[in-house]
């Protein structure tokens, strides 16, 4: 699926049943592997969000101090 392989409706209708089942299985395996990669990222995403909050809070505090 990395190469962007697309099945059209006509191709799907003319495909044998066992080939359809294999295509569905292969697609589900690819989706599963991609979800595993996405699920491993939340810790780093939380760290970046925290750091962004710290930087944003510091800049806001400096902005309030300078404008007052």
Say yes or no to pLDDT of 1 above 60.
no
27-62 pLDDT, tens digit each: 899 999 988 887 777 788 878 989 999 999 999 988
- Kindly state the tokens that stand for 19: 């080939």
Q: What is the pLDDT of residue 43?
A: 82
Q: Hey, is 5 helix, strand or coil?
A: coil
- Spatial neighbors of 1 by CB under 8 A, at least 6 apart, are 26, 27, 30
**Residue 68: which pLDDT band, with cuts at 50, 70 and 90?**
low
**Residue 3: which pLDDT band, with cuts at 50, 70 and 90?**
low
Domain ranges across the chain: 9-67
CB of 20 within 8 A of CB of 12?
A: yes
| Overall average pLDDT of the 24-29 stretch | 92
| Overall average pLDDT of the 2-25 stretch | 85
């Amino acid at each position: 699926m990395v190469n962007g392989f697309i099945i059209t409706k006509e191709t799907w209708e003319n495909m044998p049943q066992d080939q359809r089942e294999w295509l569905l299985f292969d697609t589900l395996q690819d989706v599963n592997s991609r979800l595993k990669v996405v699920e491993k990222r939340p810790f780093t995403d939380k760290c970046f969000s925290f750091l962004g909050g710290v930087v944003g809070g510091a800049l806001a505090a400096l902005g309030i101090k300078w404008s007052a």
